[in-house]
Amino acid sequence: MNEQTRIRVMVVDDHAVVRTGLGAFLRAFQDLELVGEAPNGEQAVRLCQQMHPDIVLMDLMMPGMNGVEATRAIRQRCPDVQVIALTSFADDQLVQQALEAGAIGYLLKNVSHDELAQAIRTAYAGRPTLAPEATQALIHAATQPPPPGHDLTPREREVLALLVEGLSNPEIAQRLVVSESTIKSHVSNIISKLGVASRTEAVALAIRHRLVE
């Protein structure tokens, strides 16, 4: 990076004090420049299309359009803009969602100023930076067994929902306008995939794990 190049950064957070703090942080580095602030995801997407920053520091937990949704929208509409998730949380699902949405980095808000500045420079160069907690979350998620019912087909989930309602095979067949033998086959597949011994156990597991609405 030559002396004239400054990395243009936009800050997105629903807390004004956080935006103010990040703005002060950016002004402490000669190669970083604050070009915009947004208090929510909707404004972030809109402002990003107007300002075309190089990097967006994105909070994830915001009312309305959250940071994951905003990240996805920004990456779709402004593919040259890199997004760094900057949040207080590093649970498995949130880390996965942010990275799948297109975030190039995932950092916690307790990161030091120097580490954050370096992460911005690294993202500008097209390389990822993950907080150790985020890396651990990814490892944990990758080693967890899949949740019950992950391999059910949409039709099997539909049948399972009707089982939870207490319908019999003939009643389900009538509701779905298919043959009773077809429903019997679906129920057998559901019991097998859920690893249970009966339709009663399948219903109990579905309720416990909220497999159906």
Kindly report, residue by residue over 152-210, the tens digit of the pLDDT.
Answer: 998 999 999 999 999 999 999 999 999 999 999 999 999 999 999 999 999 999 999 98
Is there a shared CATH topology between the 7-143 domain and the 154-208 domain? no
**Is pLDDT of 2 > 60?**
no
- Please tell me the predicted confidence (pLDDT) of residue 3: 52
% pLDDT > 70, the chain: 98
- What CA–CA distance (Å, rounded) separates 105 from 14? 19
Instruction: Please tell me the number of Cα atoms within 13 Å of 142 on its side-chain side.
Output: 7
- What CA–CA distance (Å, rounded) separates 103 from 139? 18
141-167 pLDDT, tens digit per residue, is 788 778 888 899 989 999 999 999 999
Architecture label for domain 7-143? 3-Layer(aba) Sandwich (3.40)
- What CA–CA distance (Å, rounded) separates 4 from 1? 8
5-61 pLDDT, tens digit per residue, is 899 999 999 999 999 999 999 999 999 999 999 999 999 999 999 999 999 999 999
Crossing angle of the two packed helices 154-164 and 199-208, in degrees rounded to 10: 100
**Is pLDDT of 90 > 90?**
no
Domain 154-208 has CATH 3.60.110.10: no
**pLDDT band, very low/low/confident/very high, at 1 (cuts 50, 70, 90):** low
Cβ(70)–Cβ(41) below 8 Å: yes
Backbone angles phi, psi at 144, to 5 degrees: -80, 140
**pLDDT band, very low/low/confident/very high, at 65 (cuts 50, 70, 90):** very high
**pLDDT band, very low/low/confident/very high, at 92 (cuts 50, 70, 90):** confident
Q: What integer best gives the mean pLDDT of the chain?
A: 93
- What CA–CA distance (Å, rounded) separates 109 from 141? 22
Cβ(32)–Cβ(9) below 8 Å: yes
**Is pLDDT of 213 > 80?**
no
Cβ(51)–Cβ(23) below 8 Å: no
Please report, to the nearest 10 degrees, the dihedral formed by the alpha carbons of residues 161, 163, 169, 173 taken in order. -20
% pLDDT > 90, the chain: 84
Q: Comparing C-alpha atoms, which of 24, 33, 28, 66 is closest to residue 52? A: 33
**pLDDT band, very low/low/confident/very high, at 89 (cuts 50, 70, 90):** confident
Domain spans in the chain, listed from the N-terminal domain onward = 7-143, 154-208
Radius of gyration (Cα) for the chain, nearest Å? 24
Q: Comparing C-alpha atoms, which of 66, 27, 29 is closest to residue 44? A: 66
Place of tokens 């019991």: 191
Predicted TM-score (pTM) of this structure: 0.70
- Please tell me the predicted confidence (pLDDT) of residue 108: 95
- Please tell me the predicted confidence (pLDDT) of residue 130: 95
